[in-house]
Amino acid sequence: MNPRIIFSPIIFLSFFSCKDKKANTNEESKTAPSDSMMSCYPAKTKLLIGSDFMDRAALDKIDEIKTDKNQLLSFNDMMKIKGGVFDMGGDMIAGFENMPKTALAQDDELPKHQVEVNDFWIDEHEVTNAQFAAFVKATGYTTTAETAIDWNELKKQLPPGTPKPDDKDLVPGATVFHYASKNADKNDLSQWWKFERGVNWKHPAGINSSIEGKENYPVAQVSWYDANAYAKWAGKRLPTEAEWEFAARGGKTNAMYPWGNEKITEGEKKANTLQGSFPYNNTKEDGFEFTAPIKSFKPNGYGLYDMAGNVWEWTGDWYSPEYYSDLYKKGGIAKNPQGPEKTFEYGQENAVSKVIRGGSFLCSDTWCSGFRNARRMRESPDTGIEHVGFRCVRDVK
């Protein structure tokens, strides 16, 4: 989804909420093509899968970024993951039968299929405000949310004939969460997501918010392009969806969550998620209302923090609701899958989306259950939003 389209007061379109209209058990369904695993960032000299769906100006900005040699040689705060074969996709665990449908495997997580990934390095936590600030200081990079909306790019995601809004409305900004009023329909995303001018990674929760004192919080309001720009500077790349899930599982076989199969509501608090009634209130039983500092909860079996909750994380892959089915039909073990080559969304033929993983501080079992290992969501690559960040990976040479 692209909040620049959906939530702008000028360009408001009807949108599928987390309850997909194709099937009640599938909260979302978008598609898009995937990146090359050997290159975390797009380059002018390379024909990328899905290049037709990308913002050329944004790719050119990334192409101008030079990799920092010190960053390239540093493996600080990274964990080396030994690859292997695993069952990727939605888990069906005994004892979960009475859970809400949103807390169980969705249509786009099935069928479960065998995947093999190579060894790789991965950041042990999300990229922080401090890390992203260092990147911006070194490169002078300007994020998507700090850039005026390009109508020529925006209209690609709109139905043909959509009138161009006034230039004064194509202003820099991003999307901020607000609690919905008591009687609001939570299926209407405009009740709780608001596009606001002047919002960006330095002001992630509104124009008057600040990251001062939050240097060790995950950076947010960064688009997929922004994440790739940082990755290039750091000599890294975004993980494939398969790598991300392999890492999230932490060595556990067919477990529902990074910590195992204990439900999010049982035992000690395991991740920064929403307690209360989404999107109306958060009782903050886990100690946090919105984002939390990195390493606030125990790591998974691979020593990785926040693979569940806090902020959703960009991956390199485009999204398709049918991709797992396509892989399964091919048979055998999918080796280092890169994602689909075509982009589509049920009911939204112009939608263009990249996969995000891991859930956020807004997730609960009654809405998206994003903290499950297999849960898939998606966003337009130019989206800036309050609960999406990223972490990076690096190939083992």
pLDDT value, residue 153: 74
Whole-angstrom Cα distance, residue 160 to residue 199? Answer: 29
Give the position of tokens 């499950």. 372
What does the pLDDT average to over 241-252? 98
Residue 49 pLDDT level (bands cut at 50, 70, 90): low
* Cα 383 from Cα 352, distance rounded (Å): 11
Q: What's the mean pLDDT when you consider all of the chain?
A: 87
- Residues 248-253 have a mean pLDDT of 98
pTM exceeds 0.95:
no
Given a cut of 80, whether residue 43 has pLDDT beyond it is no
**Per the structure, how many domains does the chain have?**
1
Q: What share of the chain is helix, strand, coil (3-state, %, to 5)?
A: 20, 15, 65
- Residue 168 pLDDT grade (very low, low, confident, very high; cuts 50, 70, 90): confident
- Taking residues 340-368, report their average pLDDT: 89
pLDDT number for residue 344: 80
Burial class (CB in 10 A: 0-12, 13-18, 19+), 375: buried
Q: Which residue has the higher pLDDT, 165 or 188?
A: 188
- Residue 230 is part of a domain; what is its CATH number? 3.90.1580.10
Classify burial at 181, counting beta carbons within 10 Å of its beta carbon; exposed 0-12, middle 13-18, buried 19 or more: exposed
Range of the domain at 360: 1-397
Kindly state the DSSP code that residue 272 receives in the 8-state scheme. Answer: B
CA–CA dist 103, 122 (Å, integer): 27
Q: Are 278 and 376 in contact (CB under 8 A)?
A: no
225 pLDDT more than 90: yes
